[in-house]
Amino acid sequence: MPHITILGGGPAGLGVAFYAHRAGIPFVLGEASETLGGMCRTLECGAHRYDTGAHRFHDRDPEITRDVAALLGDELVRVDAPSAIWERGRFIDFPPTPLNAVFAYGPREAGRILADLARSTLRRHPPAFSFEDLAVRRFGRTLARRILLNYSEKLWGLPTDRLSPDVATRRLRGMTLRSLFYELLVPGRKAEHIDGSFLYPRGGYGRIVEALAAALPRESVRTGFEVAALEHTGDEVRRVRGATGETLEVRDRVISTLPLPVLARLLGDAVPDAARAAASRLRFRDVRLLFVRLRVDRLSSKASIYVPDPAFCVSRIYEPKNRSIAMGPAHETALVAEAPCFRGDAVARLSPADFAQRVLRELAALRLVHPRLVVEWRAHTIPNAYPVYTRDYANDVAAVREALSRFSNLEALGRAGAFVYSHLHDQLRFGRDAVRALTESSRAQTA
């Protein structure tokens, strides 16, 4: 069996390691941080637990769901908690049903929404050239602006006409005109797109990566190993150099889950200038998080609360206890607020204390949290949280991948690693499929 050198210990790297170990393939995994899990961890503050961003398990691949359920046993439970948009001081279902829109936006705006929807449904459209174009064609301008475009501009930090239609493959999945009308016509029924029901581990989303890590042989996992360079001979990566001088000799394959532009940089001159320029154009949105501990037992029943209003830096808020009651003590609750930013922008430059003050002011202005309820807060930053799908991103990703394809033993996987807006179940699927392909090619060679 070939040996795999895995770079990065987030869900993608752990997924490769987990399936490799299960297939009897030896591996070594190098992770820069002292903690495994990447952007998919559960943190603690006193008796509170909270995830690094509002995570939920998408059970889209039955085999992956079975594997995760087998790892967690009865710790993985189904949660029923709808999400909402917070606008003008009240909750609106997310995504809003037509009936809900009438109550939320008033009859005149609801009439405009329906007229726009009818117009865009009746018209024949050529292929969409931007996310905005696609959202407007699918939902009409009024509803698209209210429920999608404002929020997406905050999340990705660019006007939606500069975003690729590919943004929709994830964010609009299952959210069709038909599903909206289905909800109107069948009272009390929610179409599949509303993630009001999902799987979640009782002790927090990070339990999945903890269980993956616990299934691995300890001696094959190196934490505190920051990859500083990749050395190659001809068209094979031969050695991984760590920032502190330690090295990993590559025996056969290398699977990198490091951000794609980082991988291109670590290969130095082996990557041509044009591909390095393409890599430097790939941008990520970071997310700043504020955990706020509150002296009240519950604030809402919502899984996630979206704040599309551009006047606020906070884009989404969640209450960990609404995912699992075990996430906090009986007489307190907590909120986690997410604020997307680009490295170096005004939100990113705020000190933790200034960031906390700003978010707490916003939570008060949104009439969600009265300042006297706040017990304490913690601020965090998730780097490279969202790959930004600009209208040109696919060409740049293709140019980088083309340059990397000269290395016969190198593969790039993961969210930032492959520059694919993907989730934990996708990372596990990528890992499973990479290991499966390796096993099959090794068997074919032996035969």
The letter for the amino acid at 211 is A
- Shortest distance (Å) from residue 20 CB to ligand FAD: 15
- Shortest distance (Å) from residue 158 CB to ligand FAD: 17
Cα(first)–Cα(last) distance of the chain, in Å? 13
- Shortest distance (Å) from residue 4 CB to ligand FAD: 15
Nearest C-alpha neighbor of 10 from the set 422, 335, 401: 422
- Please give the structure tokens belonging to residue 351: 């000190």
Largest CA distance in the chain: 71
- Please give the structure tokens belonging to residue 181: 């009308």
Identity of the residue, 136 or 317, whose beta carbon is nearer to ligand FAD in the bound complex = 317
Contacts of residue 128, Cβ cutoff 8 Å, sequence gap at least 6: 134, 137, 165
- Shortest distance (Å) from residue 44 CB to ligand FAD: 18
Identity of the residue, 100 or 422, whose beta carbon is nearer to ligand FAD in the bound complex = 422
Q: Interface residues with ligand FAD (CB under 6 A)? A: 7-13, 30-33, 38-40, 53-56, 58, 226-227, 257-258, 262, 287, 338, 382, 385, 414-417, 422-425, 427
Identity of the residue, 369 or 382, whose beta carbon is nearer to ligand FAD in the bound complex = 382
Identity of the residue, 59 or 236, whose beta carbon is nearer to ligand FAD in the bound complex = 59
Contacts of residue 325, Cβ cutoff 8 Å, sequence gap at least 6: none
- Shortest distance (Å) from residue 217 CB to ligand FAD: 19
Residue pointed to by tokens 């501009």:
153
> What one-character-per-residue DSSP string does 11-74 give?
HHHHHHHHHHHHTT--EEEEESSSSS-TT--EEEETTEEEESS---B---SHHHHHHHHHHHGG
Identity of the residue, 358 or 429, whose beta carbon is nearer to ligand FAD in the bound complex = 429
- Shortest distance (Å) from residue 363 CB to ligand FAD: 18
- Shortest distance (Å) from residue 141 CB to ligand FAD: 28
Identity of the residue, 180 or 317, whose beta carbon is nearer to ligand FAD in the bound complex = 317
Identity of the residue, 320 or 414, whose beta carbon is nearer to ligand FAD in the bound complex = 414
- Shortest distance (Å) from residue 12 CB to ligand FAD: 3
Residue pointed to by tokens 């943190």:
43
Q: Based on C-alpha coordinates, what's the Rg of the chain?
A: 23
- Please give the structure tokens belonging to residue 384: 């490279």
Scanning 186-318, the segments in alpha helix (DSSP H) are 206-214, 260-266, 273-281
Q: Are 364 and 292 in contact (CB under 8 A)?
A: no
The letter for the amino acid at 428 is L
Dihedral sign of CA atoms 294, 297, 299, 304 in order: positive
Identity of the residue, 243 or 277, whose beta carbon is nearer to ligand FAD in the bound complex = 243
- Shortest distance (Å) from residue 65 CB to ligand FAD: 12
Question: Strand pairing partners for 285?
Answer: 386
Identity of the residue, 110 or 260, whose beta carbon is nearer to ligand FAD in the bound complex = 260
Identity of the residue, 56 or 137, whose beta carbon is nearer to ligand FAD in the bound complex = 56
| H or E element, residue 387 | strand 374-387
- Shortest distance (Å) from residue 16 CB to ligand FAD: 9
Scanning 232-334, the segments in alpha helix (DSSP H) are 260-266, 273-281
Backbone φ and ψ for 85, nearest 5 degrees, come out as -100, 140
